[in-house]
A = this chain, B = another copy of it.
Amino acid sequence: MQRKFILLWLLFFIVVGCSPHYPADTITQASTIDLLLAGQYDGQMTCGQLLGYGDFGIGTFDRLDGEMILIDGSFYQVKADGKVYRPDMALKTPFAAVSHFSNDTDIAFDCGQGLNDTQLRKAIDTYITNPHLFYAIRLTGRFASMHTRSVPSQQKPYPPLSEVTQNQPEFKMTDIAGTIVGFWCPAYTKGINVPGYHLHFISDDFKQGGHILGFEMRDGRAEIDRCHQFALIMPEKGEGIAEVDLSVDRSGELNQVEHLKTSQ
Nearest chain B residue, comparing its CB with the CB of A242: B130
User: How many copies, total?
Assistant: 2
Q: Which residues of B contact A17 (CB under 8 A)?
A: 14, 18
**Is A191 among interface residues, defined by CB-CB distance under 8 A?**
yes
Contact residues of A: prevailing secondary structure: mixed
Nearest chain B residue, comparing its CB with the CB of A232: B230
Chain A interface size, under 10 / 10 to 19 / 20 to 34 / 35 or more: 35 or more
Q: Is the CB of A18 within 8 A of B10?
A: no
Q: Once bound together, how far apart are the Cα atoms of A75 and B246, in whole Å?
A: 34
Q: Which residues of B contact A23 (CB under 8 A)?
A: 21
Nearest chain B residue, comparing its CB with the CB of A130: B242
Partner among B11, B132, B231 whose Cβ is within 8 Å of the Cβ of A32: B132
Q: Is the CB of B229 within 8 A of A233?
A: yes
Q: Which residues of B contact A13 (CB under 8 A)?
A: 14
A94 CB to closest chain B CB (Å) equals 13
Q: Is the CB of A241 within 8 A of B132?
A: yes
Given known A-B contacts A32-B188, A132-B246, A231 and B234 have beta carbons under 8 A apart: no
Q: Once bound together, how far apart are the Cα atoms of A7 and B7, in whole Å?
A: 7
| Chain A interface (Cβ < 8 Å from any Cβ of B) | 3, 6-7, 10-11, 13-14, 17-18, 21-23, 26, 32, 34-35, 129-133, 186-188, 190-192, 195, 228-236, 241-242, 244, 246-247
